[in-house]
Structure 1
Amino acid sequence: MNAPIRPLARELNQLQPFNLADFYKTGHPSMYPAATTKLVANFTPRSAKYAPVLPELFDNKVVWFGLQGFIQQYLIDLFDQEFFRQPRDKAVRKYQRRMDTALGAGAVPASRLEALHALGHLPLEIRSLPEGARVDIKVPPVIFSNTHPDFPWVATYFETLFSCESWKPSTVATIAFEFRKLLDYFARLTGSAPEFVNWQGHDFSMRGMSGVHDAMRCGAGHLLSFTGTDTIPALDYLEDFYDADAERELVGGSIPASEHSVMALRILLTLQRLRRDPAHAGLEEGALRQLAEREVVREFVSQDYPQGMVSIVSDTFDFWNVVTVIARELKDDILARRPDALGNAKVVFRPDSGDPVKILTGYHDDELVRVDGLPARDADGAYTALSGGLRVTEAERKGAVECLWEIYGGTVSAAGYRLLDSHVGLIYGDSITLPRARAILRRLAAKGFASGNVVFGIGSFVYGMNSRDTFGYALKAIYAEVDGEAVDIYKDPATDDGTKKSAKGLLRVEREGDHYVLHQQQTAEQAEGGELRPVFRDGQLLSRQSLAEIRQRLMASWQCPEPGSIRWSVED
């Protein structure tokens, strides 16, 4: 048998540091005045006009996160491996080949890279606010400047790379913290345990993100505010770049959980076996399937996972049968489950389709057709929704939380809200947005249920549906020195609404109360002060920040409002 034909072996391109750019960046070093010796740039969140946040909680600040990981991965490790530790000709060859074949031979000279290679390090300084800080919109959390007069262009050359690697972890960390604010507020309002909020936002986003690297960095941003996650690589990232240690601290965690393929296979296999049993002769397919599903759930809670926590996706066929019939029939089995080492013995039911607000909280009376002021029921006992004319069963009118309460009961918090028995709970992870989470929590509170009855899976519909424009991140040059002459650089397009107006000259950022305040057109001496501290210089990371420090800084940056103090502008 002939061996497969393979293409001729050639050296892979890999990640060449200077190729990680837009083509137009490659020509800019030649376009700056030849006598330029100094260049300074800043990276700034310029606007929140497209941000998917709740106005009642958003205070015009973003969470700054991701710089340390970027510096270590790219400016240190990648530069060392693919540039400075390589022979000069090899280090430059891939870049020169790409420029010559795409832009034309000699269009971009190799001399600058050859000189940089001879220097032996990246002559760049980065100053930054601490990661985990919440930075006011229009205030730069980071600035770049060259440290050698022969290489001013390094301050702006990596704009594309830095932007594409940095805007999203910071954006996701910001949105995650907005969820944290919402959940903290309702926990305080309804008397749910504050520590439970750590688990109440759970990262479900990995499968919908733009690759593993995207998922791990954004998943790390989520873990600044929560500990619940299904994005395994995020924990690896935080251990690799943020001094986390899963053996000494809780970086992130999850619980055993089923998916539809598991449930459908086991239910349908059990159904086939039941159908062959003469004892079930005459039962219709639907009834057999319900028996099969009950048996599968029983196996899950009493045999497969007889202790601790387990999550069961419950809408493979009929969610309402699961939470009203099966949950009742298996009550003794569920209550008999043993606690794990942390004292948990909970079965979490997971709906995964339909309207999450209605599934969890049911319908208000004023959302149903009424007669004489009361919801009207037809001959089959169903109601009719005013919106769309949908038929609504009694279980759907109550919602999943109330259905489980009727079976299992629970406790009442100090604030007077009902909490389900600790053996049962609910998680919903299908298209949960901040407005939907707010609606669910408000409606539960209106029915007398505490926020701690539900966990939200936050997926790529929230974390992935963003862009650099979500917070308007941009890197712009702000200062230069040309032949000894200082130039304050800025842009202010007449055709813009002010969003793109950039900072001007050397900068200083000061902490004033709860805000970071930008001071522009500073002297060199003034620019040395303030809160922007050197974190990288000439190829060296100057300081390290741990996940624990960043989490602590972030949590201390916001004070939860008093219960009842928020007046929501939207009725849910």
Structure 2
Amino acid sequence: MQATTGSLASILSNPILNTDSYKASHFLQYPPEASAMFSYIESRGGRYERTLFFGLQMLLKEYLCRPITNEMIDEAKTFFAAHGEPFNEAGWRHIVKQYDGYLPVRIRAVAEGSVVPTHNVLVTVECDDPAVFWLASYLETMLLRVWYPVTVATQSWHLRQTIRGFLAKTSDDLSQLPFKLHDFGARGVSSAESAAIGGAAHLVSFMGSDTVLGVVAANRYYNEPMAAFSVPAAEHSTITSWGRPREVDAYRNMLRQFGREGTIVSVVSDSYDLFAALDMWGTQLKQDVIESGATLVIRPDSGDPLTIVLATVRALDATFGSTLNSKARRVLNHVRVIQGDGVNATSIEAILSALDDAGYAADNLVFGMGGALLQQVDRDTQRFAMKCSAVRLGDTWQGVYKDPVTDAGKRSKKGRLTLLRHRRTGEYRTIELPLAWDDRRMEDDWEDALVTVFEAGRLLVDTTFAEVRARAHADEG
């Protein structure tokens, strides 16, 4: 066998290879009378009790809305033969011949942006073609990666609730909420694809990002003109290249280049001595800041976040002054602080609490979150799983499940499932369906929360980012 050629993108574009090795052998392992299969995805619990569902549309558009070709089958056949696995060539050729290469699966899902308690079905996958029924499981590897955007979106949604609580308590301006947690995660993720998918997921709850690929992904896959915004900001090289004796000139240049009425200018200020820099801003550069009309945002980038943020705010208050708002909290004049080092769910709450205790409003601070936002999550953060829950043996559907005696938490659901939502209370519950999709009897107060989003290569629902955001934050009033 010759080495596989072509770019990584071309390899990833072959859905037959976008799986686990052992999946290739599974078509030989099912009962001979098996003729259809049903699988589902759920969060089995984890760090958060509710998940914000997001990201399936990206996966479907990128990987499943294109046909399988005979060339893809040839590539996979050659690979698996050398790899040590059997290969169902006849099944894949059947898909090309009967369906023009489009996978004959039905995927149903809860609307993206929905906030659903854990232990509920979020996605179902069904294939009822006896020749390729195993597709409902074969696609697990690719489809279960929805855990990543769901988990990032879930974490950001909960962080939004934390920040919103402090704004409600200490601020007169809740409109700033979407810009209080900025995505700094692009360089800290494992791949460009992670930056795109995770970066887009964060933007369901916030509108500030320096992860360009995440913004592009949200725009492209969810039909959004511009999902997020950023501002001119200094990095250490743009300050230190001036040399330490000219540090004040580097800061003055930032104001000269970007300081305009109503703009925001972010300047990292700890390249040498943060407290000396704060003195420069409050003395030599104070009038320049005021006359520019811009809001200067100081970034302390080292030290213990809990103490450094408060020390920075107090130093700026001493030189630029502050105004008391209606919540009896102080809001700095002309300046703000952005903390981008050591930021995570725990430190965000601790820092905001310390500011509140010191009499300062949450207005004074913006967070930038990097590795903890996009990289420090995994499939077990919310314990995601995709499991087969029903097979059709001949003409009869049969519920199947796992129930390990050594771990009750891994017990899976059985039957052909759907998710119901109470029309008045918004409560969710997962139920087992009767034998036919059109033979359901639901109580008047409940509606089916799953909709068919994909069938046989066709995307049936193309939701917008605005719709996703509206669902995610519908309860904020």
CA distance in 1, matches of 2:359, 2:202: 30
CA distance in 2, matches of 1:549, 1:355: 39
Q: Report the alpha carbon displacement of residue 355 of structure 1 after superposing the two structures with TM.
A: 0.6
Asked if 1:255 is matched to 2:231, the reply is yes
Aligned residue for 1:504? 414
Aligned residue for 2:87? 108
CA distance in 2, matches of 1:9, 1:541: 31
Note closer, same or farther for the CA distance 1:322–1:221 as it changes in structure 2 (3 Å cut).
same
CA distance in 1, matches of 2:220, 2:382: 27
Deviations 1:500-535 (A, max 9, x none): 111111213111323321123644323997111111
Q: Which segment drifts farther, 423-432 or 526-535?
A: 526-535
Asked if 1:265 is matched to 2:176, the reply is no
Read off the aligned partner of 1:317 and give its amino acid letter. Answer: Y
Gaps of at least 5 residues in structure 2 are: none
Q: Residue 22 of structure 1 is aligned with which of 14, 20, 23?
A: 20
Q: Does the CA contact (< 8 Å) of 1:508 and 1:522 recur in 2? A: no
CA distance in 1, matches of 2:128, 2:105: 5
CA distance in 2, matches of 1:178, 1:159: 27
Deviations 1:385-428 (A, max 9, x none): xxxxxxxxxxxxxx11111111111222211111111x211001
Read off the aligned partner of 1:44 and give its amino acid letter. Answer: E
Q: Does the CA contact (< 8 Å) of 1:350 and 1:428 recur in 2? A: yes
Aligned residue for 1:520? 432
Note closer, same or farther for the CA distance 1:522–1:412 as it changes in structure 2 (3 Å cut).
farther
Q: Does the CA contact (< 8 Å) of 1:191 and 1:416 recur in 2? A: no
Note closer, same or farther for the CA distance 1:9–1:467 as it changes in structure 2 (3 Å cut).
closer
Deviations 1:2-26 (A, max 9, x none): xxxxx99956662321111110111
Aligned residue for 1:391? none
Read off the aligned partner of 2:273 and give its amino acid letter. Answer: D
CA distance in 2, matches of 1:349, 1:10: 49
Read off the aligned partner of 1:511 and give its amino acid letter. Answer: R
Aligned residue for 1:296? 250
Note closer, same or farther for the CA distance 1:499–1:259 as it changes in structure 2 (3 Å cut).
same
Q: Secondary structure at the match of 2:413?
A: coil
Aligned residue for 2:268? 313
Q: Does the CA contact (< 8 Å) of 2:36 and 2:130 recur in 1? A: yes
Q: Secondary structure at the match of 2:343?
A: coil
Asked if 1:125 is matched to 2:106, the reply is yes
Aligned residue for 1:354? 303
CA distance in 2, matches of 1:437, 1:534: 38
Read off the aligned partner of 1:118 and give its amino acid letter. Answer: K
Read off the aligned partner of 1:224 and give its amino acid letter. Answer: V
Aligned residue for 1:418? 330
Q: Report the alpha carbon displacement of residue 323 of structure 1 after superposing the two structures with TM.
A: 1.5
Q: Residue 535 of structure 1 is aligned with which of 410, 435, 453?
A: 453
Q: Residue 470 of structure 1 is aligned with which of 374, 378, 381?
A: 381
Read off the aligned partner of 1:486 and give its amino acid letter. Answer: W
CA distance in 2, matches of 1:316, 1:457: 18
Q: Secondary structure at the match of 1:329?
A: coil
In percent, how many aligned pairs have the same letter? 29
Aligned length: 462
CA distance in 1, matches of 2:80, 2:252: 64
**RMSD of aligned alpha carbons:** 2.0
Q: Does the CA contact (< 8 Å) of 1:133 and 1:557 recur in 2? A: no
Q: How do 1:137-286 residues align onto structure 2 when only pairs under 5 Å count?
A: 137-164=118-145, 166-246=146-226, 251-268=227-244, 271=245
Note closer, same or farther for the CA distance 1:267–1:416 as it changes in structure 2 (3 Å cut).
same
Note closer, same or farther for the CA distance 1:262–1:546 as it changes in structure 2 (3 Å cut).
same
Deviations 1:245-285 (A, max 9, x none): 12xxxx100100010111111134xx3xxxxxxxxxxxxxx
CA distance in 2, matches of 1:558, 1:412: 26
Q: How do 1:316-331 residues align onto structure 2 when only pairs under 5 Å count?
A: 316-331=271-286
Note closer, same or farther for the CA distance 1:558–1:29 as it changes in structure 2 (3 Å cut).
farther
Runs of 4+ in 1 over 4 A off after TM superposition: 7-13
Read off the aligned partner of 2:104 and give its amino acid letter. Answer: P
Deviations 1:80-139 (A, max 9, x none): 3xx2xx4x3x231101001100116xx324111111111122100001100000111000
Read off the aligned partner of 2:440 and give its amino acid letter. Answer: Q
Higher CA-based Rg: 1
Q: Does the CA contact (< 8 Å) of 1:507 and 1:527 recur in 2? A: no
Q: Does the CA contact (< 8 Å) of 2:183 and 2:373 recur in 1? A: no
TM-score when normalising by structure 2: 0.93
